[in-house]
Amino acid sequence: MSRTAAAGRSPAGELEMTASLRDALSATGAIGATSRQLASRTLLPPDVLRTELERLASAGEVVRLGRGLWVLHDFKVLEERDDFVDPKAYVERFARENGVHVGSYRGPITFRSNEALPVHRWWPYVQGYSAEFVAGTLHRLSAGAGTTVLDPFAGSGTTLVEARRLGARAIGLELLPPAALSARVKTRFELDPGDLGEAASAVLDLGGAGPPGPLPFLRETRQQFSPRALQELRRLRAALPTGNGPADEAARLAFGRILIPSSRLRRSPCLGYGRPEARGGPSPRERFAGAIEEMREDLGTLACERPRWGPPATVLAADARAFDLPEGSVDLAVTSPPYVNGLDYVMNYKVDLAWLGYARSYADLRALRSASVACDNLPRSETAAYLASRDLPDPWLEEILSQIRSNVLRKRSYRRDDVHAVVHRYFADLTAVLRRVGRALRPGGHFLLVVGDSLLAGTYVPGDLLLARIAERLGFAIESVDVARSRRSGQRRSFELRESIVTLRRLGR
């Protein structure tokens, strides 16, 4: 038995145990620690530790936060700490230094509002935004026939679909292959519903009789699906067309769409187990047939708008930090970049990547992650150049990165000790994107970004305001920053974050 555990049996031992627990909690500061982390730090047996935590909680000394994190009461309210700069303080600083008061936007902003809309529903993308918001923006800024609209983080293609529907030429960049597939398929308005029906019938005929294809490489595939669903999905997948024709790709998108609903997984928004075994629900074959039917129906709806369609959209598998479009060739850019707290898109879409054959190994997944805008799971080799706080794109970052670094050092066992470098690289990545879009936009052209703020390692990061400030230094005017909705921090459910629309205008003539 450890010394600390044995000590807990006598009154003096109890005091020692409480002191060691307080020390451990104090070391984790505002970030907090789980009971498992505290048990390993104090060497207390988990049940003794839990009882002690409950006792301290009822005495008001410690507080339990979302995700089972414990913090000393003093750290519960981040805003009460001397070194914590809260959202309100940044909003005031922004008004003072940049002359813009943060406003608000009323209207749908998340993808949820697209789930019942023709075409947008073909590949529900939790990370996408509202088609209604995009259509309203394009309309307000006079996008239409003869104009070019760019989305440097095209995702599932929401901007591109709405731009083409309004008659504009739409260009999108997207690195995540299943999202790029969605953007391509959804903007091919001229796809013949008859061709799609034939391609799908061939999949259903062959996939009913043929042998099941190989399992994708993901080690956990058998846990993710029931044996029956897995068998059916393997047959369907083996029967999918492999060509690049519009109907081939549309059939593959329909297959991609049914993967998560046919599994024990869900995205909310991160991928995780959470769905009880689906009993009595539609089979994968039925889901596939249903997805195809919806697509055929929506193609019919789209055909009624044919005279207004813009030219075929361009979807490039290109890096938003390094693309080259002719200078001044874009009239309007609308996008939603990844957020600074780093949802790992590759991890979140690994099932789609593996089953659709875009990734054949874990090395493929890693390579894709390294090529994308920085997220929390970036390999350390990718952040090495950002460990020192040199060449920061905005002076506010100096204070922010230094606070992240000291919070992480204080906690010692934080998930990674280079979080400040990840954040630094994120803003370096987005600076490169702002520069490229600035070059492609015509003078006077607008660039709208829907982006969130974050709470990272006990530090608040005003991602929206920082991007606006960086853009200002790169030759944009900040027209407005409007809060579209509030969100909850994943680190601390009680902490309110926001999602904003940053509207920029390219200066110059």
List interacting residues with ligand SAM (CB under 6 A). 125, 127-129, 153, 155-156, 158, 173-176, 179, 319-321, 336-338, 345, 372-373
Compute the least distance from the CB of residue 438 to ligand SAM, in Å. Answer: 16
Query: For residue 233, how many C-alpha atoms fall within 13 Å in the half-sphere facing its CB?
Result: 29
70 vs 427 by CB, closer to ligand SAM? 427
Q: Are 100 and 468 in contact (CB under 8 A)?
A: yes
Compute the least distance from the CB of residue 504 to ligand SAM, in Å. Answer: 17
Compute the least distance from the CB of residue 55 to ligand SAM, in Å. Answer: 44
372 vs 403 by CB, closer to ligand SAM? 372
The one-letter amino acid at 48: V
The burial class, CB within 10 Å (0-12 / 13-18 / 19+), for 216 is buried
102 vs 179 by CB, closer to ligand SAM? 179
84 vs 323 by CB, closer to ligand SAM? 323
Compute the least distance from the CB of residue 53 to ligand SAM, in Å. Answer: 38
Cα dihedral: 435, 184, 311, 331 (round 10) = -20
Cα dihedral: 313, 319, 321, 326 (round 10) = -40
Q: Are 204 and 289 in contact (CB under 8 A)?
A: yes
Residue 102 region, left (φ>0) first, then alpha (ψ -120 to 50), else beta?
beta
Compute the least distance from the CB of residue 180 to ligand SAM, in Å. Answer: 8
Cα dihedral: 116, 311, 182, 249 (round 10) = 120
Question: Which of 154, 157, 158 is CA-nearest to residue 137?
Answer: 158
Euclidean distance between CA atoms 388 and 373, whole angstroms: 19
Where helices occur in 304-390 by DSSP H, the ranges are 345-348, 350-355, 362-371
DSSP conformation class of 316: E
155 vs 445 by CB, closer to ligand SAM? 155
158 vs 314 by CB, closer to ligand SAM? 158
Compute the least distance from the CB of residue 484 to ligand SAM, in Å. Answer: 13
Q: In what order do the strands lie in the sheet with 148-151?
A: 103-104, 476-488, 496-506, 441-452, 330-335, 148-151, 169-173, 314-316
Strand pairing of 314-316 and 69-72?
A: unpaired
28 vs 158 by CB, closer to ligand SAM? 158
Euclidean distance between CA atoms 489 and 457, whole angstroms: 12
202 vs 347 by CB, closer to ligand SAM? 347
Helix (H) or strand (E) holding 499: strand 496-506
Compute the least distance from the CB of residue 39 to ligand SAM, in Å. Answer: 38
Question: Which of 122, 30, 73 is CA-nearest to residue 408?
Answer: 30
Compute the least distance from the CB of residue 454 to ligand SAM, in Å. Answer: 14
Phi–psi pair at 269, nearest 5 degrees: -85, -10
150 vs 401 by CB, closer to ligand SAM? 150
153 vs 447 by CB, closer to ligand SAM? 153
Compute the least distance from the CB of residue 160 to ligand SAM, in Å. Answer: 9
Compute the least distance from the CB of residue 90 to ligand SAM, in Å. Answer: 22
Compute the least distance from the CB of residue 385 to ligand SAM, in Å. Answer: 16
Cα dihedral: 136, 141, 187, 438 (round 10) = -130
Compute the least distance from the CB of residue 24 to ligand SAM, in Å. Answer: 37
162 vs 331 by CB, closer to ligand SAM? 162
94 vs 345 by CB, closer to ligand SAM? 345
Q: Distances in Å between the alpha carbon of 351 and those of 61, 223, 414?
A: 44, 12, 28
Position closest to ligand SAM via CB = 155
